[in-house]
């Protein structure tokens, strides 16, 4: 494995035998977004569909795509032979998602892989930067008909939108251009940067639900968390749990594997499965798919509460140290609930088992997302329960205890005297 310096160049043939190569990306200390830009001979993004990032995961030709790389925060898969001749360079970038500057970055790297074998690595840290909010890390480029790779490490004071502008791309938020005449070529789709991050209790964001044949078919909610860093392998297993307040005032509970729900029938939300491991480099993820038509199908407004739970049987651990957060995606709209539980009064208490990440109010026309920050009391196994204060949900962790597997037989004992029950 070769360690690369800033500005170093090498032929692609030094990395892989053909034109298929993978890149893994890592950064510690900041929340980062990674993107690739396919540029023409003038160094411009002449076709916005060749910006590959969280809202546009694949190029039209299939030559560049987001890809999970084991051990890394993000990755890209390249088959450079598929790229049109108009694409001369592919620039890999990183930008800060939220506040901060690149000088606060603890460490990071870009690594080149032949399938799963690391061939070269470009390491960087905050000492390499100052007030930048975005960085060009490296690029593939054509020379004499062959592909080569170069490390860059050049920063920008602006973020992802500044990168788009620098490369000549068009932002979706820009004012619309006049309609083209019928004989003109179709306008290229604008790049959408519609990612919203909610970090404090009391914040909220409304997403409009689209109608018609082209509307997104699923509302995808993912909970992620990291290894807590204590070198133990048996206490990094959280469970994503979802409570649903139905139009009739009753509550439903879904979690995997015992009560996964259903997408096509009530409760119109499906848990895709249990994840039992996490690492500092590779977050664990559990996913729930929600039918966007859930309110109409259920007969009215549905309120959902998303929480993560650490069973005592998995080993004592501070859930806050695992940085749980939730990301909801509906088409090109992405909303992140990232309340930092490490600031809560129970942050270091390993007997606090439930952390409420966020809530969703779903009507026929919209979804309103909000972070929570609510936790269970120390030693409590209770689940989150939803009360409505007018149009606003209030969460209290007083719901019935729910266990899974061999522990399920203990539920009745814990729930004696509790008036709340799931349907």
* HEC sequence for 60-92: CCCCEEECCCCCCCEEEEEEHHHCCCCCCEEEE
Select the highest-mean-pLDDT range: 106-120, 211-225, 274-288: 106-120
- The pLDDT value recorded for residue 179 is 44
Domains of the chain, residue spans = 2-166, 195-414
Q: How many CA atoms lie within 13 A of 332 on its CB side?
A: 13
Give the pLDDT confidence of 201-255 residue by residue, as tens digits. Answer: 888 998 889 888 778 889 999 998 887 665 555 556 789 999 999 999 999 999 9
Q: What is the pLDDT of residue 118?
A: 93
Percent of the chain with pLDDT over 70: 89
Query: Are the C-beta atoms of residues 384 and 400 closer than 8 Å to each other?
Result: no
Distance CA 14, CA 147 (A): 11
Check if 2-166 and 195-414 are the same fold.
Answer: yes
pLDDT interval class at 348 (50, 70, 90): confident
Output the CATH code of domain 2-166.
Answer: 2.60.60.30
What is the mean pLDDT of the segment spanning 71-76? 89
Fold type of domain 195-414: Lipoxygenase-1 (2.60.60)
Between 46 and 49, the more confident residue is 49
Phi, psi of 390, rounded to the nearest 5 degrees:
65, -120
What are the start-end ranges of the E strands in 97-250?
107-114, 117-124, 134-143, 146-156, 195-198, 205-208, 219-225, 239-245
* Closest to 47 in 3D by CA, of 31, 60, 30: 60
CA distance 37 to 167: 8
Give the pLDDT score at 180. Answer: 44
Q: What is the pLDDT of residue 161?
A: 79
Residue 182 has pLDDT above 50, yes or no: no
The more confidently predicted of residues 120 and 183 is 120
Higher pLDDT, 149 or 391: 149
State how far the alpha carbon of 130 is from the alpha carbons of 29, 99, 138, 165, 182, in Å. Answer: 15, 14, 18, 21, 49
24-33, 85-94, 108-117, 278-287: least confident range: 278-287
Q: Is the pLDDT of residue 188 over 50?
A: no
What is the average pLDDT across 15-21?
91
């Amino acid at each position: 494995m070769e360690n690369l310096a800033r500005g170093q160049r090498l032929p692609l043939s030094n990395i892989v035998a053909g034109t298929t190569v993978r890149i893994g990306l890592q950064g510690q200390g900041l929340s980062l977004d990674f993107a690739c830009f396919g540029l023409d001979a003038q160094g411009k993004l002449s076709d916005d569909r060749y910006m590959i990032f969280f809202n546009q995961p694949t190029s039209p030709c299939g030559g560049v795509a987001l890809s999970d790389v084991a051990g890394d925060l993000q990755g890209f898969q390249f088959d450079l032979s598929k790229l049109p001749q108009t694409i001369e360079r592919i620039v890999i970038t990183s930008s800060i998602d939220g506040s901060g500057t690149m000088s606060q970055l603890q460490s990071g790297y870009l690594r080149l892989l032949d399938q799963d074998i690391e061939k070269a690595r470009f390491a960087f840290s905050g000492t390499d930067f100052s007030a930048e909010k975005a960085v060009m890390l490296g690029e593939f480029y054509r020379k004499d008909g062959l592909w080569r790779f170069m490390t860059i490490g050049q920063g920008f004071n602006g973020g992802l939108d500044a990168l788009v502008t620098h490369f000549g791309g068009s932002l979706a938020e820009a004012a619309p251009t006049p309609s083209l005449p019928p004989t003109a070529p179709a306008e290229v789709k604008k790049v959408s940067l519609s990612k919203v991050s909610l970090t404090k209790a009391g914040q909220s964001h409304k997403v409009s639900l689209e109608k018609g044949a082209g509307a997104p078919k699923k509302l995808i909610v993912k909970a992620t968390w990291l290894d807590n860093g204590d070198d133990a392998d048996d206490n990094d297993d959280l469970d994503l749990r979802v409570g649903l307040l139905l139009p009739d005032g009753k509550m439903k509970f879904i979690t995997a594997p015992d009560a996964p729900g259903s997408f096509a029938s009530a409760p119109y939300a499906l848990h895709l499965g249990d994840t039992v491991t996490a690492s500092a480099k590779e977050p664990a993820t559990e996913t729930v798919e929600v039918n966007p038509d859930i309110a109409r199908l259920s007969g009215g407004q549905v309120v959902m509460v998303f929480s993560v739970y650490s069973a005592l049987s998995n080993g004592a651990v501070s859930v806050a140290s695992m940085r749980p957060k939730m990301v909801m995606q509906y088409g090109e709209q992405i909303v992140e609930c990232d309340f930092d539980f490490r600031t809560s009064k129970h942050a270091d208490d390993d007997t606090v088992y439930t952390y409420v990440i966020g809530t969703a109010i779903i009507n026929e026309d919209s979804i309103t997302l909000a972070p929570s920050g609510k936790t269970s009391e120390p030693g409590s196994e209770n689940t989150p329960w939803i009360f409505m204060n007018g149009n606003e949900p209030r969460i209290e962790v007083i719901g019935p205890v729910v266990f899974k597997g061999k522990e399920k037989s203990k539920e009745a004992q814990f729930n004696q005297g509790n008036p709340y029950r799931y349907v």
